[in-house]
Amino acid sequence: MAGPLSHVKVLDLSRVMAGPWAGQMLADLGADVIKVERPGAGDDTRSWGPPFLTAADGSPTREAGYFLSVNRGKRSVAVDLDQPQGQAVVRALAARSDILIENFKVGTLARFGLSYEDLKPLNRGLIYCSITGFGQTGPRASHAAYDFLIQAMGGLMSVTGERAGRPGAGPQKVGLPIVDIMTGMYASVAVLAALARRTETGEGDFIDLGMLDVQTGILANQAMNHLVSGRVPQRTGNAHPNIQPQDVFPCADGDLVIVVGNDAQFVKLCQGLGAPALAADERFITNAARVRHVDALREALAMVLAGQSRQHWISRLEPLGVPCGPINTIDEVFDDPQVRHRAMRVDLPHPLAGTVPQVANPIRFRAAPIEYHRAPPLLGEHTLEVLRELGLEPGH
């Protein structure tokens, strides 16, 4: 069955992570996504390795794992935007597209005659999503940005990492490009909202999406903690700033994560630990009290938990409904029975490697399940195919 976006055509002029993540999401949902890349080099992430995909004969390819993570389902067209012919191809593609995604610096595409204002006369229904580090306006609008920088500037690193005074204290970035990914997710929501509006008005739209805006927007409870109290949130390591106990605790054979979300779960935790007196301690009776006395709470729990293995405690706490579990490495994630059951790894045919592994889309439709038809493309793999669809020939 065709995907829910099988009627939608997307022109992906983006590189690296945020824009390509949005493009891959739309491709997973069935859209025809055409990725425009520089001849000879392609998306920057094609060279961001090792690791690189291994060919069927055992030799390395030029397909970096980074690129393979965000470009599934797309067709690659290699054209030079510096040349009039390349600009003409993009205009022809834009004229027949529903959505255009780009993440060039502010003003760059206007120099090529490919801004929203340039393309709107060709396609009044075009939804043009522009992703930049800082948005189209403001004192930093012309500045370049990457995920790491925005994690720092947007406050995320100030609340990530071990708290001051503890071993290893200091700000830390998240271990994956979370701002890029969230920007891609916001872009996906935005273009689909504009697409829904277009069914009512017939008009497209211009979407201005800045990564610093996104990072500020996802500060969530930490932002409101500050805005409500006037206090500046600090790093708390793995401990949750508002809910306790939610932390990492050492057991006899490794670390265990315990995530208690309410007072009833805390009572069950104490029951499972064989320490009912903790649930009756006035310092720990309510969540607010536990947050105020978090150091004493952690010490009391740590003394109990250190005496047994992780599996011992998991086998006692899970039946009581207390959320807990190990800290899995990436290989352990893909070997987890739940992850395996949910088929979160898929393998797609690949012209060089035979197959290429992919992380499945977590969305599960009942009526129109996501199907994966195309591996991340080789550079320019579909150039001739797409040019012929446009009625063009190479060099024209």
Mark whether 199 and 308 lie in a shared domain.
Answer: no
Looking at the structure, do residues 95 and 133 belong to the same domain, yes or no?
Answer: yes
What's the pLDDT at 357? 97
We report the CATH number of the domain holding residue 262 as: 3.30.1540.10
301: containing domain: 246-329
User: Same domain for 207 and 106?
Assistant: yes
- The whole-number average pLDDT for the span 223-250 is 94
Compute CA distances 288 → 226, 262, 291, 292, 297, whole Å.
Answer: 17, 10, 5, 6, 12
Q: Is 180 a catalytic residue?
A: yes
C-alpha to C-alpha distance for 281 and 174, rounded to whole angstroms: 36
User: In the chain, helix, strand, coil percent, each to 5?
Assistant: 40, 15, 45
- Residue-averaged pLDDT of the chain: 95
pLDDT confidence tier of residue 293, bands split at 50, 70 and 90? very high
Alpha helices in the chain (DSSP H): 18-28, 65-68, 84-95, 108-111, 116-119, 147-153, 178-201, 211-217, 220-229, 263-273, 276-280, 287-292, 294-305, 310-317, 330-335, 337-341, 383-389
- Alpha helices, H only, 169-262: 178-201, 211-217, 220-229
pLDDT digits (tens, 9 = 90+) for 126-183: 999 999 999 999 999 999 999 999 999 999 999 999 988 888 899 999 999 999 999 9
Backbone angles phi, psi at 95, to 5 degrees: -65, -25
150 inside domain:
yes
Based on the domain organization, do 95 and 211 belong to the same domain?
Answer: yes
Residue 23 and residue 33 in contact, taking contact as beta carbons nearer than 8 Å: yes
* Whether residue 263 sits in one domain with residue 202: no
Q: Is residue 396 part of a domain?
A: no
**Predicted local distance difference test score (pLDDT) of residue 380:** 96
**pLDDT reading at 396 higher than 90:** no
Catalytic residue (one of 43, 98, 147, 180): 180
Is residue 299 in a domain?
A: yes
Would residue 239 count as lying in a domain?
Answer: no
Same structural domain, 75 and 144 = yes
pLDDT at 25: 98
Burial (CB < 10 A; 0-12, 13-18, 19+), residue 113, is middle
| CATH code, 50 | 3.40.50.10540
Residue 116 lies in a domain: yes
Picking from 305, 329, 353, the residue at the C-terminal end of a domain is: 329
Same domain, 212 and 347: yes
Can you name the residues that pair with 259 across neighbouring β-strands? Answer: 246
Q: Are 92 and 52 in contact (CB under 8 A)?
A: no
Predicted local distance difference test score (pLDDT) of residue 165: 87
CA-to-CA distance for 396 and 394, rounded, in angstroms?
6
Predicted local distance difference test score (pLDDT) of residue 13: 98
CA distance 212 to 152: 10
Q: Which of 24-28, 166-170, 313-317 has the lowest mean pLDDT?
A: 166-170
Q: Is 231 exposed, middle or buried (0-12, 13-18, 19+ CB in 10 A)?
A: exposed
- Does the pTM surpass 0.85? The reply is yes
**Number of domain units in the chain:** 2
- Which has the closest alpha carbon to 363: 68, 4, 1, 39? 4
Is there a single domain that holds both residue 299 and residue 177?
no
Q: Smallest Cα–Cα separation from 19: which of 152, 109, 89?
A: 109
- Our CA angle for 38, 40, 46, nearest 5°, is 75
- Clarify whether residues 29 and 123 are in a common domain: yes
Read off the tokens for 11: 């022109």
**160 and 284 in one domain?**
no
Q: For residue 234, tell me if it sits in a domain.
A: no
Q: What is the mean pLDDT of residues 9-22?
A: 97
Does the pLDDT value for residue 391 go beyond 70?
Answer: yes
Instruction: Give the separation between CA 360 and CA 392, rounded to whole angstroms.
Output: 35
Which whole-number Å values give the CA distances from 269 to 59, 242, 314, in the listed order? 53, 18, 11
Residues 105, 143: one domain?
yes
Q: Which residues contact 334 (CB under 8 A, 6 or more apart)?
A: 340, 344, 345
Say yes or no: 114 and 251 in one domain: no
pLDDT at 395: 61
What single-letter amino acid sits at 201? Answer: T
- The CA–CA distances, whole Å, from 212 to 88, 113, 224, 232 equal 33, 27, 17, 19
Measured distance CA(280)–CA(270) in Å, rounded = 10
Q: Is 288 within a domain?
A: yes
Domain-terminating residue out of 302, 329, 356: 329
**Rounded Cα–Cα distance for residues 225 and 229 (Å):** 6
- Does 207 have pLDDT greater than 90? yes
Asked if residue 2 belongs to a domain, the reply is no
- Say whether pLDDT at 394 is over 80: no
Q: Are 245 and 258 in contact (CB under 8 A)?
A: yes
So what's the pLDDT on residue 166?
Answer: 87
